[in-house]
Amino acid sequence: MQKKEVKKTDENILTRMVRNQMFIPLLALAALALFNLIAGPEFFAITLGTNSAGNPVLSGYPITILDSGSELAILAIGMTLVTAASGGQDISVGAAVAIAGSVLLRMLCGGNSRPEELAMPIIVAFLISCIVAMLFGAFNGVLVAYFKIQPMIATLILYTAGRSIAAWINNNELPVITDPGLSYFGGFIPGVPIPTPFFIAVICVVAIFLVLKFTNLGLYTQAVGINENSSKLNGLNPQLIKIISFVILGLCVAVVGLIKVSRIQTINYSVIAKDIEMDAILAVALGGNALSGGKFNMAASIFGAYVIQFLTQTLYRFKVSADALPAYKAVVVIVLVVISAPTVKEWFGKMSRKFKVKEVA
């Protein structure tokens, strides 16, 4: 009798674990870690060195994951909200990062492409780029909410035009900023060996969790994503909530724009944040969130972002060229999409029931 009971709780823990939204990203992380460990544990080595400015910095694959994954994590925050409220994804974030970065540079150099000193404090320039990015987010949001265009189609407009707009903002010039202050955001703060983007991501994550705790953003976006009619009859304004989710994504875009521009102190309109939207969407999906909207788990999305970056770094380690990366990631997408497809879920359900029946017999 007692044995049976123990077994039952065991099963409960197992099913609870599998049901948990963190299960898939954790499983993916474990698989990647194991794979890298077998291929050679040097992947996990972290070394302390100094950079060209003479500051102590940590380096190694894990640090790169933490560094680049932070950009993705920030975007995943906004993408999760957009997905939840609108049931679709914004594919223009890469182009929007180019715009935000370009605005930032334009503000900092004030029209002179090789400024001796900054035209305004970095914080002011950043705030202006935030406003611009949020306006572009609102543009996408209005197309989706009021004109009822599918999010992917609506954001295709900015996806196509964004990089040209970014180039146009700086008259197609490539301003270079020499002020070391700008380099801190995408690099290292003197004396701190951990890359700054990680700290920025932590700030963003804390901010969004505070917002989710102290406002109704989570409840409203989920309600609108699950049942728009019902939300409306409960006094919500579904259009406004969708737009807000896109505006928040715009803010995330501006933060990533700052990091990206800070990394190279200049901008390359056609390359900056290229294909980053796909990784951000993948992070949301890997976090077990339905891409058709509704309920979401923010922590799982953010964690998913770092796992995606882990995958990217693993591929780099095996000398997969940057051009070939998408092909490998596509495999992950296929697996994710297939296991979350209703028909497959149904099949799994049937199999597990069969299995249980057998066990009982």
Partner 1 sequence: MKDNIVLQMKNIHKSFPGVRALQGVDFTLRKGEVHALMGENGAGKSTLIKVLTGVYSKDEGDILLDGHEGPVAIHSPQDAQKVGISTVYQEITLCPNLSVAENMFIGRTSGMGQNWKKMNSDTEKILKSLDIPASATQQLETCSLAVQQMIAIARAVDMDCKVLILDEPTSSLDEQEVEKLFKLMRDLRSRGVGIVFVTHFLDQVYEICDRITVMRDGQLVGEFEIKDLPRVKLVSKMLGKELDDMSDIKGEQKTYERKAGEVPVLEAENRVSDAGIKPFNFHIDKGEVNGFTGLLGSGRSECVRAIFGADRVTGGTIKMNGKPVKINKALDAMKNGIAYLPEDRKGDGIVGDLSVRENIILAQQVLRGFFKPFSKAKQYEIADEYIKLLSIKTASADTPIKSLSGGNQQKVILARWLFTHPEYLILDEPTRGIDVGTKVDIQKLVLKLASEGMSVTFISSELDEMLRTCSRLVVMRDRKVVGELSGDDLNQSKVMSTIAGGDK
Which residues sit at the interface with partner 1, rule CB under 8 A? 213-217, 219-220, 222-223, 226-227, 229-237, 294-295
Q: d(Cα 294, Cα 21) in Å, to the nearest integer? A: 14
125 vs 223 by CB, closer to partner 1? 223
3-state secondary structure of 235: coil
295 vs 317 by CB, closer to partner 1? 295
DSSP 167-179: HHHTTT-------
226 vs 320 by CB, closer to partner 1? 226
223 vs 276 by CB, closer to partner 1? 223
124 vs 206 by CB, closer to partner 1? 206
What are the φ and ψ backbone dihedral angles of 204, each rounded to 5 degrees?
-65, -45
Q: Taken in order 71, 77, 80, 86, is the CA torsion positive or negative? A: negative
What are the φ and ψ backbone dihedral angles of 14, each rounded to 5 degrees?
-65, -50
- Provide the minimum distance between the beta carbon of 232 and partner 1 in the complex, in angstroms, as a whole number: 6
- Provide the minimum distance between the beta carbon of 220 and partner 1 in the complex, in angstroms, as a whole number: 7
Number of Cβ atoms within 10 Å of the Cβ of 175: 22
Place of tokens 């049942």: 227
- Alpha-helix runs per DSSP H in the chain: 2-19, 23-39, 61-86, 93-109, 122-145, 151-169, 180-183, 196-214, 217-226, 228-233, 238-264, 276-286, 298-317, 325-340, 342-360
How distant, in Å, are the alpha carbons of 104, 148, 184, 215, 352 from that of 209?
A: 27, 29, 25, 10, 36
CA end-to-end distance (rounded Å), the chain? 17
- Provide the minimum distance between the beta carbon of 297 and partner 1 in the complex, in angstroms, as a whole number: 12
- Provide the minimum distance between the beta carbon of 19 and partner 1 in the complex, in angstroms, as a whole number: 13
Place of tokens 């703060």: 189
Q: d(Cα 70, Cα 186) in Å, to the nearest integer? A: 10
Q: d(Cα 268, Cα 279) in Å, to the nearest integer? A: 20
216 vs 268 by CB, closer to partner 1? 216
- Provide the minimum distance between the beta carbon of 214 and partner 1 in the complex, in angstroms, as a whole number: 7
DSSP 274-307: TTHHHHHHHHHHHTT--TT-S---HHHHHHHHHH
Q: d(Cα 222, Cα 80) in Å, to the nearest integer? A: 11
What token pair was written down for 218? 């989570």
70 vs 83 by CB, closer to partner 1? 83
- Provide the minimum distance between the beta carbon of 231 and partner 1 in the complex, in angstroms, as a whole number: 7
DSSP state of 266: S
- Provide the minimum distance between the beta carbon of 130 and partner 1 in the complex, in angstroms, as a whole number: 21
269 vs 296 by CB, closer to partner 1? 296
11 vs 42 by CB, closer to partner 1? 11
- Provide the minimum distance between the beta carbon of 340 and partner 1 in the complex, in angstroms, as a whole number: 15
- Provide the minimum distance between the beta carbon of 229 and partner 1 in the complex, in angstroms, as a whole number: 5
